[in-house]
Structure 1
Amino acid sequence: MTASEVLDALIPLVEDLSRDLPERERYRRLLTTLRTLFPGDAAALLRLDEDTLVPLAIDGLTSDTLGRRFRVSDHPRFAALLSSEEPTRFPADSEMPDPYDGLVHGVSGHLEVHDCLGCPLLIGGRPWGLLTLDSLDPERFDTIDMNTLQAFLSLAAATVSVAERIDTLERNTEEERQRAEAYRQASGQGSRELIGSSTAHQQLVNEIRVVAHSDLTVLITGETGVGKELVANAIHTGSPRANKPMISLNCAALPDTLVESELFGHVRGAFSGASSDRRGKFELADGGTLFLDEVGELPLGVQAKLLRVLQNGQLQRIGSDSEHKVDVRLIAATNRDLADEVREGRFRADLYHRLSVYPLRVPPLRERGRDVLLLAGFFLEENRARLGLLSIRLGQDAQSALLSYNWPGNVRELEHMIGRSAFKALSRHRERPRILTLTAADLGMSANHGGELLTAAPSAGAADAGEANVTDFRSAVTAYERTLVSDALERNNHNWAAVARALGMDRANLNRLAKRLGLK
C-alpha cells in the first residue's frame, strides 16, 4: 500500500474525532480501517474491565463473540499482549491456545487461527484494551509495515479516548461510580450485566438510565426468565443511592406467616420462635433500595401494611408499638398482570397505583432478535471456563435454530440450554476436544422446523404409528410438566408452599405430581 493510500484510509478516522458519533459506529469504522490497511480474516476491539476483556466491536468473527467475556488469566495470548507496550505477533506454531479458534465467521469445522497480531491500546499510559487482527494464512502479516501500524494505533487510541470522554460526561462522577462499585463488591451482588444491541434492549437501557436518577417507585413487568432482577440492580447501581445497600426479597419464596416479619421485622416474643429482636428488609435497606420480586404474591393483609409504609415511610415491627422512620426507594417486579389481579380482587388497587409510578416492561427474548446470539456467547464463555475448554462455538444450524425458536422461558431458558448442551456434548467425546462445536441437535432443537424443541422419541416396539404418537404425546406432556415445576422450584428457592401458590395448585396435588415426575 502506498503512502497516499495509507493517508486516504486514515483521514476519515481523523475527521471522525470531531464528529458526534454513536460509540458503536465509531468503533465499527475503526475496525473497517484496520482491515483496509492490514487485510486479514478477523479483527476485534476489546476493552479491559478489571481482569476481563470485553469485546466492543468485531469484524469477521461470529456474532456470539460480542457476548463473550474473556478472563485474561484464562487466555495466555491476551495476557502476553497486555504485558507489552508494543504490537505482538505470535508464531504460527505457537503452543498458546488462541481465544478465537473456531470463531472466525464463515469457517466450518475446527479450522484454527494461524497468524495472530495483537496491539495494546494505552490511554494515559495505562492499558485500556486490545486491538487484535487474525488470519487463517500463517504468512499474512509477514510484510506488515510497522510505521503504518503505529500511526493507526495512535489514531485508535485517540478514537477510544474521545469515546471514553463522551461516556464519562454522560455518567455520574468517577467518585460516585467507584463508591457504587466498592459497595457492589462488598455486598456480593452479582456482576452480570445487561447484554444486547437490539432496538428493544436499547430502549430498555435508555429507560433504566432515565428512571435511575430519580427516586420514583418502579414496577418492573415481564415474563418469567427475562432478567427483571438484573434490571432492578441496574436501576440501583445508576441511582444516587448506589453507595447504599440494595436489599432483595422474593415475595413468593416465603410462607404467608413469615412475609410480614421479613418485610417489617419483629420484637422478641412477638410470636412462637421469635427469640430476639430482628430488623426487617425495610430497615436493612434504609437509605438505599428495596427490591420486591414477585410482588403479586403478597397476601392482602401484608399489602395494606406495605401501602402504609410507602405512604408515610413509617413502619412497626411485629409485636412493637414503636414506629420506625425509613427512607427507602422501592423497586417491585412481577410476571403477573396486576391490573387483572386488581379486577379479580387479589391485589389492592391503591397499592397497584402506588407501585406503578414508573412501569418498566422488560421485553421477552423473542422480541430481541439477534440478541439471542450475544447472550449465547456470554453463556458459552461461562461454560467454556467451567469445563476447561479452549473454545465452545455454535454451529451454523445451532445459530439458526436459536434465532428461530420462540423462547417461552426467555433468557433463563437459554442459559440452562447452553449449560446442559455443552456438558452433554462434551461427554460424548472420547478424547477431550480443543474446540467444542454445538449443533442444533446438541441443543435439543430442530434446525428445519422453526427451531422447535425436539420431543422425546416414540418408544421402541410400539404396536403401530398411532400408539407411537400417543407415547410421544405423553412424553412431551410429562417433559413440559417437569420443566414447569422445576422452573417454579428454582424461582421460589425450592419452597414447595410458594411453588403451589405460583402454579395455582393445591399443595397435596403438587406433592403427588412432584413424586410422579421424580422431583421428590
Structure 2
Amino acid sequence: MTSSPVFQALIPLVDDLSRELPEQERYRRLLQALRLLLPCDAAALLRLEGEWLVPLSVNGLSEDTLGRRFRVSEHPRFQVLLANMGPTRFPADSALPDPYDGLVQGAHGDLEVHDCMGCPLLVDEHVWGLLTLDALAPGRLAPVALATLQAFASLAAATVRVTQRIERLVMRAEGEFQRAETYRLAAGQRPHTLIGQSEPFRKLLEDITLVGASALSVLISGETGVGKELVAQALHAASPRAHRPLVSLNCAALPESLVESELFGHVVGAFSGAVSDRRGKFELADGGTLLLDEVGELPLPVQAKLLRVLQSGQLQRLGSDREHRIDVRLLAATNRDLAEEVRQGRYRADLYHRLSVFPLRVPALRERGTDVLLLTGYFLEENRSRLGLRSLRLSGDAEAALCAYPWPGNVRELEHLVARTALRAYGQRRDDSRILTLSAEDFALHGAPAGPPRAEPLPGPEEAPVGDLREAVEHFERRQIRASLERHQGNWASAARELGLDRANLRRLAKRLGLV
C-alpha cells in the first residue's frame, strides 16, 4: 500500500520531535516541508505575544519580515484567523488586505490579490500563534484541503511544545530564574525589542541569559546607538529583580553640581534651591536595578562617593548625616574605553573594576551582517502603521545598499533613516497606491562613506599655533568643533555624534574653549 504524500512529508518531521535540534532549525524544517508539499509561494510561523504577532520563521518571504512585529488590530486577516479555532481559507477576491502584500519573494509590482490560508496553533488549549500560507496566483491554494493544513498546524504545535519542554529543562539544569525577555511592553507603546540572528548578536543574547539571573555588576560598552539601554532592560528582565523597578540615570545629561544629588538624594537646605527632601536614584531603585548610562562622564569626586556606596551598601543624602541601607543591582553603560580612561588617570581604577565584574560588549551594527535587514523590517512595519499604508517594503537594490553601508550611528541611525526615508517617499507618491517600495535612491546611501565620519586632519607644522602643548590642543579642539558645527548647520547633537562626544560634554567643552 502506497502512503500519501502528506504522510511521507510528515514522517521526518515527526522523527525530528525526538531529536535535539535548535529551535530555529525545527521551525525551518517544518516550513520547508510545507512548501515542498503544498503549492504555496510563502509560509510563515508566527507567535502571539500580547497584541502582537511575531514571525519566528518564514519561507518565501523577504528577510526583513523576521524583524517585523504585526499589531493584530491593524491586520483584519490575522484577526479572522485568530478568531477561528480551525483552518481558514480566504477567497481569492477577498477585500481584506494581506499583511504580506509586497513581501513575497519574487513578486513584482503591487501584489494585492492572492490566495491565503491560515490556522491557529493551540498549545495547552491556548492560542499560541499562527501558521500561514500565501500564493501569488488566485486559486493556487484551492486544491489544498483544510485537513492537510490542520495536520501541519497540529505538528507545528507539537514542535512548539517539544521546544518549550527542552527549554524548561535547560533552564532548570542551569538554575536560571527566568529566561531573558527580548522586549518590554509598555501601555500604549511599541515593544522595545532586541532583534537579530547574527553570530555576534547570538553571543550577546547568551551572555545576557548567563549573567542576567546573577547579582553581578555589568558594564555594557559599545558605540553610540547600538542599543545599550535595551541590553540593560533585558538584563533586568532576566533577573529575580524583574518585578522591581529599573531606574536609569544619564550621567552626562546633568551638570556636575547636580549629579551627586541625583544619585544620592538631598535634604532641605543642602544647597541653594533644596526646598524639600528628595530621594536619589539609588533609593528609588532599592530592591531593583539601577542603570548608570554614560558612566564614563562621572566627575572624579562623584566617582569616589559612588565607590563608597557600592562597597558599603549605604548612602547619605546630601546635607544629612543619616545613613540609608540600599539593595541595588548596578548596571553601567558607556561608549568610552574605560580601561584607557583609567590608564590616562581620568577614571578611578577601583571603581572601574567594581563596575566591570562582568563586561558586556554590544556589537556595532556593521559587525552584524544581515541583521540590518531584520531591524529594517521592524522599523518599516512601525512606519507602515504610522503612515496608514498596506505595505512598506524594500527593493533589491535597497537591501544591498543597507547591507553595504557602515552605519556609524548604528541602530539609532538606521531607525531615523527608515523613518525619514519612508516619510519622504510617502510625500512624493504620484498616486494613491497603498503599497510603497523604498529603493536605494530613496535611502541615498549609494555615496556612503567607507567608515565613520572623519574629523579634520591635524594641522601641519605651518598651521600649528605658537605656544605650549595645552594651547596647541585647545587650538585644535576649537577648529574641530567649529568645522563640525558648520557641517551640521549648528546642530549640536549631530556635531557631537560626529566627534564621538556626548552632546552635554560637547557644550561644556565648547564653553571652556570660549565658543559659546
Q: Distance in 2 between matches of 1:383 and 1:10?
A: 39
Q: 1:490 to 1:368 in 2, by over 3 A?
A: closer
User: CA separation in 2, counterparts of 1:109 and 1:483?
Assistant: 42
Alpha-carbon distance in structure 1 between the residues aligned to 2:160 and 2:233 = 28
1:9 matches 2:9: yes
Choose which of 506, 512, 515 in structure 1 pairs with 2:511.
506
Q: CA deviation at 1:400?
A: 0.2
Instruction: Kindly indicate whether the alpha-carbon contact (under 8 Å) linking 2:47 and 2:128 is maintained by their aligned counterparts in 1.
Output: yes
Whether the aligned pair in 2 keeps the contact of 1:294 and 1:334 (CA below 8 Å) is yes
Give the match for residue 141 of structure 2: 141
Question: What code does the residue aligned with 1:436 have?
Answer: L
Q: How far apart are residue 8 of structure 1 and its match?
A: 1.5
Structure 2 CA distance, aligned partners of 1:381 and 1:318? 48
Partner AA of 1:167 in structure 2: E
Q: How far does residue 485 in structure 1 lie from its aligned partner after superposition? A: 2.9
Contact kept, 8 Å, 1:220 with 1:332, in 2: the verdict is yes
Q: CA deviation at 1:489?
A: 7.5
Which piece of structure 1 moves more, 405-414 or 422-431? 422-431
Q: In structure 2, give the amino acid aligned to 1:353.
A: H
Change (3 A) 1:187 1:53: closer
CA shift at 1:109, angstroms?
Answer: 2.5
Query: Post-superposition shift, 1:6?
Result: 2.1
Is 1:150 paired with 2:157? Answer: no
Aligned-pair CA distance for 1:189? 9.2
Equivalent residue letter for 2:212? A
Q: 1:395 and 1:388, CA in 2 relative to 1: closer, same or farther beyond 3 A?
A: same
Give the whole-Å Cα distance in 2 for the aligned partners of 1:65 and 1:186: 23
* Mean CA deviation greater in 68-77 or 345-354: 345-354
Q: Does the 8 Å CA contact 1:444/1:453 hold for their aligned counterparts?
A: no
Q: Which amino acid aligns with 1:361?
A: R
Distance 1:189 1:138 in 2: 37
> What is the SS of the residue equivalent to 1:324?
strand
Matches within 5 A, 1:397-436: 397-436=397-436
Kindly, what percent of the aligned residue pairs are identical? 64
Residue 317 in structure 1 maps to residue 321 in structure 2: no
Query: Where does residue 329 of structure 2 map in the other structure?
Result: 329
Q: 1:349 deviation in Å?
A: 1.2
Contact 1:404/1:451 (<8 A) preserved: no
Shift of 1:63: 0.3
Unaligned runs of 5+ in 1: 455-475, 512-520
The SS at the match of 2:197 is coil
Structure 2 partner of 1:77: 77
Deviates more, 1:423-432 or 1:62-71: 423-432
Contact kept in structure 1, 2:117 and 2:134, CA below 8 Å: yes
Question: 1:74-153 counterparts in 2 under 5 A?
Answer: 74-153=74-153
- 1:348-363 aligned at under 5 Å gives the runs 348-363=348-363
TM-score (norm 1): 0.86
- Bigger drift between 254-263 and 5-14 goes to 5-14
How many angstroms does 1:432 deviate by?
Answer: 3.1
Q: Does 1:485 align with 2:474?
A: no
Q: Assess, with a 3 A threshold, how the Cα gap between structure 1 residues 134 and 219 changes in structure 2: closer, same or farther.
A: same
TM normalised by structure 2 equals: 0.87
Q: Secondary structure at the match of 1:223?
A: coil
Question: Comparing 114-123 with 426-435, which one deviates more in the overlay?
Answer: 426-435
Please give the root-mean-square deviation of Cα atoms over the aligned residues, in Å. 2.9
Corresponding letter in the other structure for 1:500:
R
Deviation of 1:404 (Å):
0.3
- Are the equivalent residues in 2 in contact too, given 1:199–1:368 (CA < 8 A)? yes
Shift of residue 499 of structure 1? Answer: 4.2
CA distance in 1, matches of 2:513, 2:36: 68
Written as runs of structure 1 = structure 2, the 5 A alignment for 1:29-428 is 29-171=29-171, 191-428=191-428
2 CA distance for matches of 1:308 and 1:274?
A: 24
Q: How many residues align?
A: 480
Q: Which amino acid aligns with 2:226?
A: V
Quote the Cα distance in structure 2 between the aligned partners of 1:297 and 1:7.
64
- Does the 8 A contact of 1:497 with 1:507 survive in 2? no
How far does the alpha carbon of each residue in 1:318-349 deviate from its partner, in whole angstroms, 9 at most, with x for none? 00011111111110010011112112221111
Aligned-pair CA distance for 1:106: 2.5
Listed as ranges, the gaps of 5+ residues in structure 2 are 454-482
Structure 1 pair 337–452 and aligned structure 2 pair: CA distance change class (3 A): closer
